[in-house]
C-alpha cells in the first residue's frame, strides 16, 4: 500500500489560484487515457483524504452531477459541510496519523490518495506517511496562489512522461 499525492501544478508551483480556482487547469489539453492520466491512477485508489477547500471545490463543480468518487473520503475540516448523496465522507480533525490508520484499513489492497491541499499533504509528509508525489505540470504560470507543497522534501524521480501539453513526473520521498 502506497500513499500518494497526485496533482497538477502550474510551472511556477501552484495547484490553485489564491481563491482556490482551477479554471486555469481545466482548459489545458490532456489525454484522459494517456500516460500518468487520472483514470489509470484513480483505479488503484481505495481511500482518499481532502482538505475542506478541496472538498468544497468538488462540491461546487460537481453540483448536479453524480458524486465522482466511490471510495471513502476523509475530509480534514473544522467546519460543518454537506455530504453529497451516496458519498462515503468522514469528517476529521487533528492528527493525520489516526485518520491514515483508518484509511489504510478501508483501502484494503489499494492505495491512498491525498487530494489537493499542499498543506494537508505536508502534514502527511511531516508524519512520515507520504510515499509518492505525482505532478502533472501544466504549461501556464499563475504568479501566486496555493503552493504545490509548502515543505522541504527530498524526492527521487521514478518516472516521467508527456501527456499532450503536460509534463508528468512521479517521485518517491527520500526518507531519513
Pairing of strands 111-115, 45-51: parallel
Nearest to 147 by CA among 8, 13, 24: 13
pLDDT on residue 61: 85
Work out how many domains the chain is built from and give that number. Answer: 1
Nearest to 33 by CA among 163, 162, 170, 165: 163
Q: Choose the weakest-confidence range: 73-77, 96-100, 115-119, 158-162.
A: 115-119
pTM for this predicted structure: 0.93
CATH number at residue 18: 3.40.430.10
Q: Choose the weakest-confidence range: 17-26, 68-77, 103-112, 152-161.
A: 17-26
Query: What is the three-state SS of 78-124?
Result: CCCCCCCCCCCEEEECCCHHHHHHHHHHHHCCCEEEEECCHHHHHHH
Q: What DSSP letter does each residue of 117-152 carry, written as one string?
A: -HHHHHHHHHTT---EEEEEEES---SSSEES--S-
Domain holding 87, by residue range, is 3-173
Amino acid at each position: 500500500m502506497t500513499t500518494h499525492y497526485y496533482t497538477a501544478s502550474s510551472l511556477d508551483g501552484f495547484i490553485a489560484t489564491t481563491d482556490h480556482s482551477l479554471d486555469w487547469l481545466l482548459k489545458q489539453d490532456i489525454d484522459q487515457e494517456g500516460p500518468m492520466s487520472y483514470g489509470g491512477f484513480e483505479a488503484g485508489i481505495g481511500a482518499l483524504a481532502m482538505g475542506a477547500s478541496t472538498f468544497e471545490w468538488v462540491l461546487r463543480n460537481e453540483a448536479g452531477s453524480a458524486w465522482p468518487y466511490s471510495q471513502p473520503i476523509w475530509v480534514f475540516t473544522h467546519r460543518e459541510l454537506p455530504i453529497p448523496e451516496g458519498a462515503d465522507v468522514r469528517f476529521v480533525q487533528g492528527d493525520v496519523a489516526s485518520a491514515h490508520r483508518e484509511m489504510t484499513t478501508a483501502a484494503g489492497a489499494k492505495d491512498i490518495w491525498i487530494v489537493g491541499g499542499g498543506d494537508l499533504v505536508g502534514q502527511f509528509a511531516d508524519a512520515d506517511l507520504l510515499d509518492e508525489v505525482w505532478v502533472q505540470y501544466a504549461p501556464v504560470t499563475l504568479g501566486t496562489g496555493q503552493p504545490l507543497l509548502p515543505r522541504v522534501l527530498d524526492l527521487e524521480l521514478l518516472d516521467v512522461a508527456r501527456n499532450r501539453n503536460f509534463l508528468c513526473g512521479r517521485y518517491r520521498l527520500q526518507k531519513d
